[in-house]
Amino acid sequence: MSVPLATAFFHKADFIHILYIVAFSMFIYGLSGLTGPRTAVRGNRIAAGGMGVALLATFLYPSMGNWGLIVFGMVIGTIIGVPAARNVKMTAMPQMVALFNGVGGGAVALIAWAEFNESGGYANLKLTFVIPSLFAAIVGSISFWGSNVAFGKLQEILPGRPIGAGKAQQPINLILLVIAVACAIAIASGQTSGLYMGTLLVAAALLGLFVVLPIGGADMPVVISLLNAFTGLSAAATGLALNNTALIVAGMLVGASGSILTRLMAEAMNRSIPSIVAGGFGGGGAVEGAAGAGEHAGSVRSTTAADAAIQMAYARQVVIVPGYGMAVAQAQHAVKELATALEKRGVEVKYAIHPVAGRMPGHMNVLLAEADVPYDQLKEMDDINPEFARTDVALVIGANDVTNPAANTNPQSPIYGMPILNVNEAKSVIVLKRSMNPGFAGIENELYYEPMTSMLFGDAKASVSEITAELAAV
Amino acid sequence: MFVTNLAILVLAGFVGYAVISKVPNTLHTPLMSGTNAIHGIVVVGGILVLGLSDHLSVFNKVLLVIAIIFGTINVVGGFLVTDRMLEMFKTKPAPEKRDEGES
């Protein structure tokens, strides 16, 4: 039955549009599979299948030409994309996601630009085409350049600390936004000069650079989520312009996902999204932190791997608190080995995962999943916080700001009010840290000066392995 | 047509919100890279413009080919990397109380 039906539709636009509907249904169905680890792999593959259907539908357009260039572009993209995705380390996932996000935004901006040139400056086109295209050009360009800066920071090509013009930054950004929007209005009201489009793209590009450059590493989860939402919305706008339902729905799904994640991340840091985008977190904090450092200096107690091993060997419950430091040191497998060794001795091991630990939403979960940590041991903040009082040893591995009690106690602290893991309620705390340098946010962590805290300095992976080795000797 | 598309856009936003609100924190990284792959659908936009326009200048062709390259990197890389990540979550012995903390 289905074959004659298909042929009846085959050369009609309807059939293509029906395929697009199939494609976006598969996106939605696939994403709903991500609600549980068991169905997630299948969900992702269904979504990928949806992408295949959308591409197929596109190829069916009767007057489709330029096949050579299309195939060429797709082959080159595949040649670049496949090895990148295959070889990237799980610890480098945030920058990979930033990069993939950026190229998506870049594609959107390029399409809008090419259409502008091709139509002689959107001449004689309806506003229902022009406005979404201009939106796509601005937002796509912001997303491309912003994501590339985020990539550079995460890859440590650019310094992770905030870079910017300080107080002048916000007025500059505002001016850039006004320029971009003004150009868009000029184009929409009939200007066809390429100068307007060029200025629009450059202003949006600078805006993308200037918005992300001043943002500190610790705020990265929010920024990546926000840029993700931006690219999604710009894709949806392209869909509106091209009258393509698959693009509209797919773009909005991404927009919704990015927005939800942005909100969750911002809530987990008790900061408003505008204040993060305005930047300056590390700037203000660093000054106050430096002042705080003077008062505390010298009262830190350091420990050895052997002592740490003895403490944990006789503990009833150990809670491991991973942070970005674990990712940097690639210590996740060593951590899992330590946990296994402890469990063999009858110690209960749990992991406390702060929503913004690491550099993107769920970063720690992915790393620990890679090391085969069962997910029932991964506890979210609200579940683990009541447990710290019953915890003998809290092992903090490269986590800093998310454990800083100043967030609860010191109204002067820049992170005051941020929900934290109440590590300081544990009977003893062992902090693995490279040195006494404050974290990305540049804020002194009072936890390190508390009497129950001891510090084990050194590379996190080496320290964890050492503890495991010592544990065998206890 | 535009108004219909706008309606689809708004509805899709709500559907996306409903579906994605249910994704647990554990899977937020794969969610992000998976949705990332999905917005790679802009490659379709690039193909449509390049394939359906008659007399594109060389410059515009270059722009669109780059757009297609970018979009393809986004799609292929995004889905592959998400698949790799999710496989790691799958190979875990599935414990009973998996719903924990998914609020």
pLDDT digits (tens, 9 = 90+) for A303-312: 999 999 999 9
SS3 for A240-263 is: HHHCCHHHHHHHHHHHHHHHHHHH
CB burial class (10 A; 0-12, 13-18, 19+) of residue A285? buried
Query: How large is the average pLDDT for residues B70-98?
Result: 81
Q: Do A228 and B53 touch (CB under 8 A)?
A: no
Q: Residue A108: phi, psi to the nearest 5?
A: -60, -50
Ordered by start, the domain boundaries in chain A are 1-85, 95-279, 295-473
Q: Check pLDDT > 80 for residue A364.
A: yes
Report, at the CATH architecture level, how domain A295-473 is classified.
Answer: 3-Layer(aba) Sandwich (3.40)
Q: How confident is the model at residue A6 (pLDDT cuts 50, 70, 90)?
A: low
pLDDT tens digits along A158-176: 887 777 777 788 889 999 9
Chain A residues with beta carbon closer than 8 angstroms to that of B46: 73, 107, 110-111
Structure tokens at A419: 């929900």
Span between the terminal Cα atoms of chain A, in Å: 73
Q: Do B26 and A362 touch (CB under 8 A)?
A: yes
Alpha helix (H) ranges present in A60-126?
Answer: 67-87, 93-118
Q: Do A366 and B30 touch (CB under 8 A)?
A: yes
CA-based angle A448:A452:A455, to the nearest 5? 45
Residue scoring higher pLDDT (A251 or A359) = A251
Q: Do A70 and B72 touch (CB under 8 A)?
A: no
If you search the block for the tokens 């001016």, which residue do you land on?
Answer: A175
Quote the pLDDT of residue A299.
75
- pTM for this one? 0.87
Highest mean pLDDT among A106-110, A325-329, A359-363, B20-24: A106-110
Chain A residues with beta carbon closer than 8 angstroms to that of B58: none
Q: Do B69 and A76 touch (CB under 8 A)?
A: yes
Structural element, H or E, at residue A436:
none
Partnered with residue A319 across adjacent β-strands are A350, A394
Structure tokens at A288: 């106050």
Please say if A459 is a catalytic residue: no
pLDDT tens digits along B78-90: 999 999 999 988 7
Closest residue to B19, CB basis, from A31, A65, A107: A31
Closest residue to B78, CB basis, from A41, A67, A100: A100
Closest alpha carbon within chain A to B74: A100
How far is the C-alpha of A280 from the C-alpha of A155, rounded, in Å? Answer: 21
Closest alpha carbon within chain B to A66: B51
Closest residue to A77, CB basis, from B1, B71, B87: B71
> Which of B8, B17, B32 to probe the A interface (max A CBs under 10 A)?
B32
Q: Please provide the average confidence, as pLDDT, over all residues in chain A.
A: 88
